[in-house]
Amino acid sequence: MNTADSSAAGNAAPKKDPWDLPDVSGMTVGVLGGTGDQGRGLAYRLALSGLPVIIGSRAAERAQQAAGEIGHGVEGADNAECARRSDIVIVAVPWEGHAKTIEALREELTGKLVVDCVNPLGFDKKGAYALVPEEGSAAQQAAALLPESRVTAAFHHLSAVLLSDPEVTEIPTDVMVLGEKRADCEIVQALASRIPGMRGVYAGRLRNAHQVESLVANLISVNRRYKAHAGVRLTDI
């Protein structure tokens, strides 16, 4: 038996089509650290898909200025207001500011669907390498700091350059989505799937987030070697 093949598990109940995802139109998406490359790119793509988007910053004016530059109805606010007004909150701050940022927003993030896209990486003269957070991964750190939130992890492998480029109309790549609750993961999968070319794919529980976050170190090596903006495509699904 192929141990990676769950079809051999023998579940008798008829299963829901795994590609049948919920309708997320109307949900407001917030992006903490949305003034940065990744946050701007995600905000641009999700707003283009028709969703209301609010980017957050440590300074409201910076967020408002960046929101004006992104256009497509994107609004800017400080991180706390961004979290308060959003249904889904993407965390797109550097690893160095991860714990401090989300810990300070525990109240605003209560009950919210949090999507962590942070890759804990170090850089030296040999290139990028994965850091190992005490909790196991950035996503597990978020889950530990936000016990009243619904923490998921996704969007780690996207190129901010491609996301932000208006000439790029499709981004053919998969987004690995991790979390403890299948329904929450499906919302995030649906979010990713609103971006033309992208598929949101369920990829396991948060205890397996470290590998997904770390893979970015490899993608950075690929990008340097081949002068590309490589992403991930999962085959046979």
DSSP 34-58: TTSHHHHHHHHHHHHTT--EEEEES
Residues of span 100-119 touching ligand NAP by CB under 6 A: 101, 117-119
Given candidates 30, 39, 133, 231, which one binds ligand NAP under the rule CB under 6 A? 39
Given candidates 21, 70, 88, 92, which one binds ligand NAP under the rule CB under 6 A? 92
Quick check: helix, strand or coil at residue 172? Answer: coil
The piece of 4-12, 21-29, 139-147, 153-161 that touches ligand NAP (CB under 6 A) is 153-161
| Residue 205 touching ligand NAP (CB under 6 A) | no
Given candidates 60, 80, 160, 168, which one binds ligand NAP under the rule CB under 6 A? 160
Nearest approach, Cβ of residue 13 and ligand NAP (Å): 37
| Residue 35 touching ligand NAP (CB under 6 A) | yes
| Residue 93 touching ligand NAP (CB under 6 A) | yes
Tokens representing residue 169 in the block: 């109309």
Question: If you search the block for the tokens 């000439």, which residue do you land on?
Answer: 167
Given candidates 18, 25, 73, 96, which one binds ligand NAP under the rule CB under 6 A? 96
What whole-number distance in Å separates Cα of residue 85 and Cα of residue 73? 15
CA distances from 219 to 59, 130, 157, 159, 232 (A): 31, 12, 8, 10, 9
The piece of 23-31, 107-115, 152-160, 179-187 that touches ligand NAP (CB under 6 A) is 152-160
| Residue 88 touching ligand NAP (CB under 6 A) | no
| Residue 97 touching ligand NAP (CB under 6 A) | yes
Q: Beta-strand (E) ranges in the chain?
A: 29-32, 53-57, 75-78, 88-91, 113-116, 121-124, 127-130, 150-153, 173-179, 198-202
Q: Which residues contact 231 (CB under 8 A, 6 or more apart)?
A: 157, 158, 159, 162, 171, 172, 173, 174, 219
| Residue 214 touching ligand NAP (CB under 6 A) | no
Q: Which is nearer to ligand NAP, 30 or 33 (CB)?
A: 33
Q: How many CB atoms are located within 10 Å of the residue 71 CB?
A: 11
Q: Which is nearer to ligand NAP, 22 or 96 (CB)?
A: 96
| Residue 38 touching ligand NAP (CB under 6 A) | yes
Which residues lie near ligand NAP (CB under 6 A)? 33, 35-39, 57-59, 62, 92-97, 101, 117-119, 156, 158-160
